[in-house]
A and B are shown apart, each in its own frame.
Chain A
Amino acid sequence: MLVSDILKSKGASVKMIRSDDSAMVCAQRLSAERVGALVVSDNGRSLDGIISERDIAYGLAKHGPGLHAVPVRDLMTKAVITSGPRESIVQVMRVMTQRRIRHLPIVDNDRLAGIVTSGDVLKHRLEEVQLEANVLRDAVIAAR
Chain B
Amino acid sequence: MKKASSKVADVLEQKGDSVSTIQPTDTIATLSRRLRDEQVGALIVSADGRSVDGIISERDVAYALATHLGELHSMPVSALMTKTVISCAPTDKISDAAKVLRENRIRHLPVTDGKTLLGVIGMRDILIQRLDDIRHSTKKVTHLVNTNA
> Which residue numbers of A lie inside 8 Å of B, CB to CB?
23-24, 27-28, 30-31, 34, 36, 52-54, 56-61, 64-68, 90, 93-94, 96-97, 100, 102, 118-119, 121-123, 125-126, 129
Query: What is the CA–CA distance of A58 and B38 in the complex, to the nearest angstrom?
Result: 11
Known: A68-B70, A122-B126. A60 touches B28 (CB 8 A): yes
State whether B65 touches A24 (Cβ < 8 A): yes
B41 at the interface (CB under 8 A from A): yes
Query: What is the CA–CA distance of A24 and B127 in the complex, to the nearest angstrom?
Result: 32
Q: How far is the CB of B145 from chain A (nearest CB, A)?
A: 19
Given A27, A54, A125, which contacts B130 in the complex, CB threshold below 8 Å? A125
B interface residue count range (under 10 / 10 to 19 / 20 to 34 / 35 or more): 35 or more
- The SS class assigned to the B binding surface is helix
Query: What is the CA–CA distance of A56 and B61 in the complex, to the nearest angstrom?
Result: 8
Interface pick from B44-52, B97-105, B113-121: B97-105
User: Of all chain B residues, which has the CB nearest A23?
Assistant: B65
Known: A53-B61, A58-B35, A97-B128. A126 touches B66 (CB 8 A): no
- The SS class assigned to the A binding surface is helix
> Which residue numbers of B lie inside 8 Å of A, CB to CB?
28-29, 32-33, 35-36, 39, 41, 57-59, 61-66, 69-74, 95, 98-99, 101-102, 105, 107, 123-124, 126-128, 130-131, 134
- Which chain B residues lie closer than 8 Å to A65 at the CB level? 70-74
- Which chain A residues lie closer than 8 Å to B124 at the CB level? 96-97, 100, 118
Query: What is the CA–CA distance of A90 and B133 in the complex, to the nearest angstrom?
Result: 11
**Extra pairs beyond A57-B61, A67-B73, A118-B123 (19, CB < 8 Å):** A27-B65, A52-B58, A53-B57, A54-B62, A56-B65, A57-B35, A57-B58, A60-B65, A61-B32, A61-B35, A68-B72, A93-B130, A93-B131, A96-B127, A118-B124, A125-B98, A125-B130, A126-B98, A129-B95
- Which chain B residues lie closer than 8 Å to A34 at the CB level? 105
User: Of all chain A residues, which has the CB nearest B41?
Assistant: A54
State whether A119 touches B35 (Cβ < 8 A): no
A and B contact pairs by CB, cutoff 8 A, 21 listed: A24-B65, A24-B69, A27-B62, A27-B63, A34-B105, A52-B62, A54-B35, A64-B29, A65-B71, A65-B73, A67-B65, A93-B131, A97-B131, A100-B39, A118-B127, A119-B105, A121-B127, A122-B127, A123-B102, A125-B98, A126-B95
